[in-house]
């Protein structure tokens, strides 16, 4: 037990070290940028933000061209899920085992879960899929890599853009949950700040996960990754049941703590449907921050490795 604690401690320390090292590089970068005269400082910072904005605009242009496929992609799954589990099944004979198992509150349990799935999938579809093809034989990423910004900014832009998509995707689920279920969903957002914070952090986390997958997985195997990583972490991500509900299966209750999706769904549960039992909000925020930093760091390393030779 002691050695395990030691190992975990060392692991945490390593991550903290890496983080501090990154911050060091970052500040050195800004130091260099801002070491010139006041005019050149304004110019440099201006170029940085404009270039970042340019990258964002490019992605926005590409997205508007396929806006309908985007909406269908992110909307279809929660739509069908809500329709089947909260509309069709409850209307079947009252003895339907599926509906009984879910309980009358199933819609309420499902809402944050489906938002989490929407965030996850658009995070991965928004970063991993485009990156894996741009890193593939076409090397389309080359022109963006040659922007006058550091490489990490190019990766960060990808994550931010996908986070924006994730937020839209998550918000799309709310009206569906309002109108589709047979029994009303008890959504109650009065911690607006917590809701916004969880939404943004969860979306950045999903984008970082996408960055890891997109930059470390061979493009040919991206489909395989979906079935062996994305689907399992979704199903075991406390999406269709609250974490507290796992009390009867203690080993699973501990095991799922390593799954970042758990904190996305529990976080949204805390923010959107607080009436359902959920983890304490501070633990959720710490875990979200931790996983975002760790995955972001890992993904960035992969990204740099793919770009630089």
Q: Which is nearer to another protein, 13 or 139 (CB)?
A: 139
Question: Smallest distance, Å, CB 148 to another protein?
Answer: 4
Judged by beta carbon, residue 116 or residue 125, the one nearer another protein is 125
Contact between 207 and 160 (Cβ < 8 Å): yes
Asked if 305 touches another protein (CB under 8 A), the answer is no
Write the binding mask 149 to 178 for another protein: x where contact by CB under 8 A, - elsewhere: xxx---------------------------
Give the integer Cα–Cα distance in Å for 236 and 231.
Answer: 9
The residue among 107 and 302 lying less far from another protein, judged by its C-beta, is 302
The piece of 100-108, 140-148, 210-218, 273-281 that touches another protein (CB under 8 A) is 140-148
Token pair, residue 209, equals 């996960």
d(CA 247, CA 177) in angstroms, rounded, equals 27
- Token pair, residue 285, equals 């925020």
- d(Cα 127, Cα 19) in Å, to the nearest integer? 22
Residue matched to tokens 């692991």: 11
Single out the segment in contact with another protein by CB under 8 A; choices: 50-58, 121-129, 160-168, 255-263. 50-58
195 CB-near residues (< 8 Å, 6+ apart): 189, 271, 272
Regarding 62 and contact with another protein (CB under 8 A), the answer is: yes
**Residue nearer to another protein on the CB measure, 4 or 146:** 146
Q: What is the rounded CA–CA span in Å between residue 264 and residue 199?
A: 8
Q: Total number of residues binding another protein (CB under 8 A)?
A: 30
Nearer to another protein, 126 or 267 (CB): 126
CA angle 217, 222, 223 (to 5 degrees): 155
Residue 133: CA atoms inside 13 Å, Cβ hemisphere, count? 6
Asked if 144 touches another protein (CB under 8 A), the answer is yes
Binding segment for another protein (CB under 8 A), chosen from 56-64, 93-101, 192-200, 288-296, is 56-64
The helix or strand, by DSSP H or E, that contains position 40, with its residue range, turns out to be helix 38-65
Binding of residue 143 to another protein (CB under 8 A): yes
Please give the structure tokens belonging to residue 115.
């938002």
Should residue 32 be labelled a site residue for another protein when binding is judged by CB under 8 A?
yes
Asked if 28 touches another protein (CB under 8 A), the answer is no
140 binds another protein (CB under 8 A): yes
Q: In the chain, what is the straight-line distance between the N-terminal and C-terminal CA atoms, in Å?
A: 42
Q: Are 278 and 269 in contact (CB under 8 A)?
A: yes
Task: Between 17 and 142, name the residue whose CB sits nearer to another protein.
Answer: 142
Give CA–CA dist 272/200, Å, rounded: 14
Work out whether 142 is an interface residue with another protein (CB under 8 A): yes
The residue from 58, 191, 253, 306 that contacts another protein (CB under 8 A) is: 58
Residues that bind another protein (CB under 8 A): 29, 32, 46-47, 50-51, 53-55, 57-58, 61-62, 65, 138-140, 142-151, 307-309
């Amino acid at each position: 037990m002691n050695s395990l604690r030691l190992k975990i401690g060392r692991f945490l320390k390593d991550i903290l070290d890496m983080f501090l090292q990154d911050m060091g590089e970052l500040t050195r970068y800004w130091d260099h940028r801002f070491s010139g005269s006041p005019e050149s400082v304004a110019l440099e910072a201006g170029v940085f933000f404009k270039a970042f904005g340019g990258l964002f605009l490019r992605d926005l242009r590409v997205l508007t061209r396929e806006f309908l496929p985007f909406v269908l992609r992110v909307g279809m799954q929660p739509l069908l899920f809500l329709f089947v589990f909260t509309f069709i099944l409850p209307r079947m004979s009252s003895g339907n085992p599926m509906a009984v198992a879910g309980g009358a509150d199933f819609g309420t349990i499902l809402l944050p879960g489906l938002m989490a799935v929407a965030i996850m999938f658009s995070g991965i579809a928004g970063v991993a899929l485009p990156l894996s093809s741009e890193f593939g034989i076409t090397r389309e990423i080359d022109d963006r890599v040659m922007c006058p910004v550091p490489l990490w900014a190019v990766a960060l832009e990808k994550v931010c853009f996908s986070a924006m998509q994730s937020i839209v995707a998550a918000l799309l689920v709310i009206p569906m949950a309002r109108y589709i279920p047979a029994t009303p969903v008890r959504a109650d957002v009065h911690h607006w700040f917590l809701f916004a914070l969880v939404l943004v952090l969860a979306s950045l986390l999903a984008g970082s996960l996408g960055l890891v997958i997109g930059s470390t997985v061979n493009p040919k195997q991206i489909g395989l990754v979906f079935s062996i990583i994305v689907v399992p972490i979704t199903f075991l991500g406390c999406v269709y049941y609250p974490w507290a509900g796992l009390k009867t299966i203690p080993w699973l209750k501990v095991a799922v703590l390593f799954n970042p999706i758990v904190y996305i769904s529990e976080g949204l549960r805390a923010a959107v449907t607080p009436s359902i039992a959920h983890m304490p909000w501070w633990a959720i925020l710490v875990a979200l921050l931790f996983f975002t930093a760790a995955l972001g760091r890992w993904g960035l390393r992969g990204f740099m490795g793919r770009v630089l030779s």
